[in-house]
């Protein structure tokens, strides 16, 4: 069958009109919509799509069940640290080593801050030849004063000054402040060296105790006896007896010291003038302590029989005679010793001393006092009085009365002696 031709509608546009219509229609707008309408439609479509998605999330479909509300997540348990690899441990050690210097720096800074807050110590003078100890010894000042003088001298002379210059100036300052005579630094230095050398020369076994010194006095070698006597003399027993240690006081009070000195005089007194002088002086000091044990020891060992021969051996030494006369005077006050003194030649040595030193006050006074004690009528010793008369003792005492003034001790003792005879 032939196809039937469909007649075109009457109002259908022709081909030319179609071309005109196509030219007048915008190319970017679909259909009859304008550009603004197209943009609006796009926005509405996007909004609709977003709403659909929200509905999908909020309202689950029948096929997918609604999501349960999320519960609070439980706290995660701490898991034990896994062992770190060797590389990580090495890195951690390096970091710790880096932190240690920082901690040390912090400690140093803290120490510096503490040092700044700590008050500065009192300055002490640098050591010089004339030390603070020497200033104290020479000028009788305190250690602080001595240190102040040295510091002032150091500051005045400057840091470049020698120790000798500082010492000399400090000595002058100390002398000016004390009003004493300055001591030459060099002399003090030499004296200090000599003392140190002497101390070094003395062995430890020679640094004896008081008992050890008394033991040395009985030695047969006078080179050991003499140093021991000097050391005992330096102790000043007549002045320090009360303050001495208990053992020392007992040795003195019981006569051990007097016996030791008498033994030294007996062994070496006549031959050695040092033993005679120091020994008699030391023994005289012991008798002045009025310790009964000391006097008893001298009497027991026949002290006058030792002292008088020593005096006779050194008749020209006035010091030895003075010490000996003092001892005889003290012994003459003990009953029974007067006869011993006379028998041992005491009257002869006493009168000889008075004739040899007629103007020496101590010799005349001690000699007159001893003769007066021996001639005392209460002793009832006519033989002793007779000996004194026969040896021109009264004429010697009379010269003493003529030599010394009436208010002198020597005149008074001479007058008392003369009264025993008349």
Helical residues (DSSP H) of 222-255, grouped into ranges: 222-234, 237-240, 246-253
Give the Cα separation of 265 and 226 in Å (integer). Answer: 11
pLDDT given for residue 162 in this prediction = 77
Give the Cα separation of 361 and 357 in Å (integer). Answer: 9
Given a contact cutoff of 8 angstroms between Cβ atoms, the answer to whether 373 and 329 are in contact is yes
Mean pLDDT of all residues in 312-333:
94
Gap between the terminal Cα atoms of the chain: 218
Radius of gyration (C-alpha) of the chain in whole angstroms? 62
Give the Cα separation of 141 and 177 in Å (integer). Answer: 10
Q: Give the tokens for residue 329.
A: 């005077």
Give the Cα separation of 124 and 209 in Å (integer). Answer: 37
For the segment 291-309, what is each residue's pLDDT rounded down to a tens digit? 888 889 999 889 999 999 9
**DSSP H or E run through 152:** helix 143-157
Does residue 220 surpass a pLDDT of 60?
A: yes
Distances (CA, A) of 128 to 180, 355, 414, 416: 21, 57, 59, 62
Angle between helices 303-313 and 273-287 (to 10 degrees): 140
For the segment 348-406, what is each residue's pLDDT rounded down to a tens digit? 999 999 999 999 999 999 999 999 999 987 778 889 999 999 999 999 999 999 999 99
Distances (CA, A) of 218 to 137, 164, 215, 274: 35, 47, 6, 15
pLDDT given for residue 98 in this prediction = 53
- pTM for this entry: 0.52
Residue 55's pLDDT band, with cuts at 50, 70 and 90, is very low
For the segment 156-194, what is each residue's pLDDT rounded down to a tens digit? 877 777 777 788 888 888 888 766 544 444 445 555 555
Q: What single string gives the DSSP state of each residue in 32-99?
A: T--HHHHHHHHHHHHHHHHHHHHHHHHS--SSSPPPPPPPPPPPPPPPPPPPPPHHHHHHHHHHHHHH
For the segment 117-167, what is each residue's pLDDT rounded down to a tens digit? 444 444 444 444 445 667 777 777 776 787 787 888 878 877 777 777 788
Does residue 107 surpass a pLDDT of 80?
A: no
Residue whose C-alpha is closest to residue 386's, from 416, 342, 349: 342
Q: Is 261 exposed, middle or buried (0-12, 13-18, 19+ CB in 10 A)?
A: buried
């Amino acid at each position: 069958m032939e196809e039937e031709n469909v007649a075109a509608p009457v109002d259908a546009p022709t081909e030319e009109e179609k071309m005109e219509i196509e030219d007048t229609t915008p190319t970017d707008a679909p259909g009859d919509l304008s550009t603004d309408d197209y943009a609006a439609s796009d926005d509405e479509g996007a909004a609709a799509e977003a709403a659909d998605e929200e509905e999908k999330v909020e309202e689950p479909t029948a096929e997918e069940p609604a999501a349960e509300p999320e519960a609070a997540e439980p706290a995660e348990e701490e898991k034990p640290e896994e062992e770190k690899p060797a590389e990580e441990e090495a890195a951690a050690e390096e970091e710790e080593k880096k932190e240690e210097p920082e901690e040390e720096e912090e400690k140093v800074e803290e120490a510096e801050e503490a040092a700044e807050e700590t008050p500065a110590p009192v300055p002490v003078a640098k050591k010089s030849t004339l030390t603070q100890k020497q200033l104290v010894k020479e000028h009788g000042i305190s250690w602080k004063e001595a240190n102040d003088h040295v510091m002032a001298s150091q500051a005045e002379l400057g840091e470049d000054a020698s120790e000798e210059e500082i010492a000399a100036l400090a000595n002058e300052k100390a002398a000016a402040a004390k009003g004493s005579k300055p001591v030459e630094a060099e002399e003090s230095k030499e004296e200090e060296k000599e003392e140190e050398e002497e101390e070094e020369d003395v062995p430890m076994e020679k640094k004896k105790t008081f008992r050890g010194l008394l033991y040395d006095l009985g030695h047969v070698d006078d080179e050991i006896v003499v140093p021991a006597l000097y050391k005992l003399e330096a102790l000043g027993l007549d002045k320090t007896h009360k303050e001495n240690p208990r053992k020392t006081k007992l040795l003195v009070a019981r006569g051990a010291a007097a016996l030791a000195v008498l033994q030294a005089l007996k062994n070496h007194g006549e031959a050695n003038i040092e033993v005679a002088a120091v020994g008699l002086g030391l023994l005289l000091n012991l008798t002045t302590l009025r310790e009964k044990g000391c006097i008893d020891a001298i009497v027991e060992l026949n002290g006058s029989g030792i002292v008088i021969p020593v005096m006779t051996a050194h008749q020209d030494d006035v010091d030895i005679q003075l010490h000996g006369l003092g001892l005889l005077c003290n012994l003459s006050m003990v009953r029974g010793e007067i006869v011993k003194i006379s028998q041992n030649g005491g009257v002869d040595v006493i009168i000889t001393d008075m004739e040899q030193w007629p103007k020496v006050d101590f010799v005349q006074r001690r000699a007159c006092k001893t003769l007066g004690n021996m001639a005392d009528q209460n002793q009832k010793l006519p033989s002793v009085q007779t000996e004194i008369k026969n040896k021109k003792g009264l004429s010697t005492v009379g010269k003493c009365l003529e030599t010394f003034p009436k208010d002198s001790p020597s005149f008074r003792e001479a007058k008392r002696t003369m009264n025993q005879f008349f």
